[in-house]
């Protein structure tokens, strides 16, 4: 069951879709080496929301970037360029690598100018993710809304599974005090194994890095655990008035959201009509909940508490994954031997108890199936040898250029230790040796390259040079372009 580039199974994971690059906080000072105009980015917030935007400019000296986004500013919620301080942003930052140079920036600029100043927000069809997808030419889409829809189905299946299984067992064998809970646990375990398989295939397909994979697994496990608890105990709490009131309120919110989705589908932007729609949807949903039989209330409450468990579990999982990934260098799978460069720090699979053997890559052998490496071994000390290239079992560590020595220095330093018998599992392992040869001792990153800049006037000229654009449209785009440039360049 291989996971394709846009597999629907990826919607089970609370994560941006497609190939992503994880950007460490220590790299904010050299952010221009990772981001440039037109790049799509995503912040995965600790509370579970994924905010997306398009990069316009970078300011590595101040650790700032200018992004085109749908967000709240001095004019309310609108589509506009905003400068953001990376240090003040919550969450892990990712860059989307799927559409790099896929469409020209001039075309993206025209879409941005058409959307500039657009007011309003709703979670279904007018959010930050739909905006970024439109700019990328991928239609009006939101992966988090899809994730929400998928998990509504998942939580409903789990909530239905508990009472139905309990009734069947009681009918057939008598007594069903714990079978419903066992059913929920079994469904959650099966679902987590599917999620683990999807995440692992994303890692093997080079869509995500090792640290990103670890984050996904830790978060999804925590979410599964807390959701399982919430769903399992939900049905037992229906007799408590406080939980029934919570259920009524939540159903009112659900009804309002459904009304909002319907109004968005028919294209209504009148806020008073939307308010009336929210009220009507909320009242109808709340009344239906009040008048429903007990077994329906039990299922609804189990479903809602299961969702609440997802939110709580995400918070715990996010904190745990942050602690797990706080230190160290990230790595990605290497499918092609030609992708490796002299002096790279890599890992290769040895055997079950030593799945990640660290070494320094020297060169690819002429036969294209073997490579020469230098590594620190337990029995032979530091050796230079030729080993098979095993494809999916090889990972390469991603250092910023200012964090590591140049390739010749790395190789010379590694070869200077050939023959030394200093291996220690705790103080001088293969990983210690590889990092000692590769990594500089300096604490912070710095860039020797200038920030990527874009000739805005040339982009605009290219955009309006397309045949068939009416003069009135060009004038309108020109006015919007001037407004956009004032915000990008912080002019009044």
The DSSP H or E segment spanning 87 is: none
Q: The sheet that has 92-96: what strands, in order across it?
A: 20-23, 92-96, 40-44, 50-59, 64-73, 76-85
Residue 299: the pLDDT is 76
Long-range contacts of 346-355 (CB under 8 A, 24+ apart): 346/373, 346/394, 346/395, 346/396, 346/397, 347/394, 347/395, 347/397, 348/373, 348/387, 348/390, 348/393, 348/394, 349/390, 349/393, 349/394
Q: Which residue has the tokens 């657009």?
A: 118
The DSSP H or E segment spanning 317 is: helix 294-324
CA distance 75 to 484: 14
What pTM value is reported for the model? 0.85
Please name every residue paired with 428 in a beta bridge, in sequence order, or none if there are none: 424
CA distance 37 to 20: 17
The DSSP H or E segment spanning 415 is: helix 407-415
Residue 208: the pLDDT is 94
pLDDT in tens, the chain (492 residues): 444 455 678 888 988 888 899 999 989 999 999 998 989 999 999 988 999 999 999 999 899 999 999 988 887 889 999 999 999 999 999 999 875 556 788 888 999 999 998 887 877 778 899 999 888 877 777 888 888 888 888 887 777 766 666 556 555 555 555 666 777 788 888 899 999 999 999 999 999 999 999 999 999 999 999 988 888 776 666 666 566 677 667 777 777 777 666 766 666 666 666 677 667 766 776 676 677 676 677 777 778 888 888 989 999 999 999 888 887 889 999 999 999 999 999 999 988 888 899 999 999 999 989 999 999 999 899 999 999 998 778 999 999 888 899 999 999 999 999 999 999 988 999 999 999 999 987 556 666 555 667 788 888 898 888 888 888 998 999 999 999 998 888 755
Question: What six digits make up the tokens of 372?
Answer: 């020469």
Q: Which positions ≥6 away from 102 have C-beta within 8 Å?
A: 136, 137
Handedness of CA 396, 398, 404, 405 (dihedral sign): positive
- C-alpha dihedral (391, 397, 401, 405), degrees to nearest 10: -100
Domain regions of the chain by residue span: 331-438
Residue 101: the pLDDT is 54
Handedness of CA 26, 29, 35, 41 (dihedral sign): positive
């Amino acid at each position: 069951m291989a996971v394709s580039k846009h597999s629907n199974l990826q919607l089970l994971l609370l994560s941006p879709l497609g190939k992503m690059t994880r950007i460490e906080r220590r790299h904010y000072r050299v952010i221009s080496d990772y981001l440039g105009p037109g790049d799509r980015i995503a912040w995965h917030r600790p509370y579970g929301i994924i905010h997306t935007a398009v990069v316009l400019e970078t300011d590595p000296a101040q650790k700032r970037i200018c992004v085109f986004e749908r967000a709240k500013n001095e004019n309310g919620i609108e589509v506009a360029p905003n400068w953001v301080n990376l240090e003040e942003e919550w969450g892990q930052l990712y860059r989307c690598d799927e559409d790099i140079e896929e469409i020209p920036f001039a075309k993206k600029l025209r879409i941005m100018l058409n959307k500039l100043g657009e007011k309003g927000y709703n979670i279904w069809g007018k959010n930050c993710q739909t905006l970024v997808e439109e700019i990328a030419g991928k239609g009006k889409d939101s992966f988090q809304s899809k994730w929400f829809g998928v998990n509504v189905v998942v939580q409903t299946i789990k909530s239905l599974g508990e009472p139905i299984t309990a009734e069947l067992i009681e009918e057939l064998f008598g007594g069903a005090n714990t079978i419903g809970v066992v059913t929920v646990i079994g469904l959650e375990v099966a679902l987590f194994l599917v999620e683990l398989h999807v995440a692992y295939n994303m890692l093997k397909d080079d869509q995500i890095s090792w640290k990103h994979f670890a984050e996904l697994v830790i978060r999804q496990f925590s979410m599964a655990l807390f959701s399982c608890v919430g769903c399992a105990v939900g049905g037992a709490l229906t007799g408590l008035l406080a939980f029934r009131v919570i259920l009524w309120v939540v159903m009112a919110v659900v009804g309002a959201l459904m009304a909002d989705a319907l109004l968005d589908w028919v294209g209504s932007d009148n806020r008073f009509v939307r308010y009336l729609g929210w009220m009507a949807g909320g009242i109808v949903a709340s009344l239906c909940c009040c008048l429903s039989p007990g077994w329906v209330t039990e299922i609804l409450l189990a479903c809602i508490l299961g969702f609440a468990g997802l939110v709580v579990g995400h918070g715990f999982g996010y904190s745990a994954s942050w602690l797990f990934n706080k230190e160290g260098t990230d790595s990605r799978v290497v499918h092609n031997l030609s992708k490796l460069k002299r002096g790279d720090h890599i890992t290769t699979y040895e055997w079950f108890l030593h799945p990640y053997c660290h070494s320094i890559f020297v060169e690819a052998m002429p036969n294209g199936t073997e490579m020469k490496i230098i590594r620190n071994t337990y029995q032979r000390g530091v050796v230079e040898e030729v080993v098979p290239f095993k494809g999916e079992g090889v990972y390469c560590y991603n250092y910023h250029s200012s964090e590591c020595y140049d390739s010749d220095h790395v190789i010379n330093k590694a070869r200077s230790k050939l023959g030394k018998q200093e291996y220690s599992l705790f103080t001088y392992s293969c990983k210690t040796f590889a990092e000692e040869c590769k990594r500089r001792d300096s604490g912070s990153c710095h860039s020797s390259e200038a920030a990527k800049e874009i000739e805005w006037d040339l982009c605009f000229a290219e955009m309006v040079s397309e045949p068939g654009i009416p003069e009135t449209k060009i004038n309108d785009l020109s006015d919007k372009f001037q407004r956009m440039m004032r915000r990008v360049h912080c002019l009044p």
